[in-house]
Amino acid sequence: ESVVRLEDLCRTYAIPLAVVNGKALAELTISNVSAHLQAQANANHYTKLGAKAAFCPPPSLKQAQLVMTFKNLDAVSRLMEQPGRRFLGPQGLAEAASCIQRVFRGFVIRKALRYGDLVLRSVIPIQRQWRCYLLYRRTQQRILERQEQARQDFARVQAKFVSDWPYIQSKPHVIIHLPSISLDDPDHRISISHYRARQNAQMARICDLKDPNVEIIYVS
């Protein structure tokens, strides 16, 4: 097998003269087979229940190992290192066509990957902005829903108070008047003229005391 592979190698690279060191090739082959048999024996030794592992042929020698068996290694190496040398053999045209196809497919794939990467870099910001917009719309909708719920709750409490007001009026009750729920701070109310007078503009509510069921707390 090693000799056949050497012949194929010489035909592939169109090497006119190659001198093989038969002794070195035989030693290399024997060493490869011995190492494989030793590994096979070790596998049989550690197999469970003493069952023997299936026999498999030794691995083929690598091309670099076969090349080292040439006596005229320098001349052969120079020929093999020449660009396009492997296309001068009997299958050179097929090898060249295969190489061109492989390079072109790689070019097409790299171009597609670059385009896909460009599209990905363009799409990610758009998706991010769209998710932010959707989140903003959902948050805005929730705020509107809570505001509407609060308005409905207030309207319901107000309607109940209006419906209960005749009954409340007929019973003893306390009326508390707060002229302003804000702090009495002139710096915040400087734009309002006669602010204190406006706060006490509801002083006429004291007249509600004519009803014996009414007590008034007036905060001025």
Does position 150 have pLDDT exceeding 80, yes or no? yes
Q: Which pLDDT score is estimated for 163? A: 92
Work out the average pLDDT over 91-99: 81
Q: What is the mean pLDDT of residues 6-13?
A: 78
The pLDDT confidence band at residue 187, using thresholds 50, 70 and 90, is low
What would the pLDDT profile of 35-73 be if each residue is shown by its tens digit?
767 776 766 655 554 555 555 666 777 777 777 888 888
- And the tokens for 126? 């758009």
> What pLDDT does residue 156 have?
94
Minimum mean pLDDT among 123-127, 164-168, 186-190: which range? 186-190
> Count of CB atoms within 10 A of residue 71's CB?
13
Residue 140 and residue 142: Cα distance in Å, rounded? Answer: 5
The candidate with the shortest Cα–Cα distance to 61, out of 49, 50, 69, 53, is 69
Give the residue-averaged pLDDT of 149-173: 91
- Name the pLDDT band for 86 (thresholds 50, 70, 90): confident
Query: 176 phi and psi, to 5 degrees?
Result: -110, 125
The answer to whether the CB of 11 falls within 8 A of the CB of 89 is: yes
Report yes or no on whether pTM surpasses 0.75: no
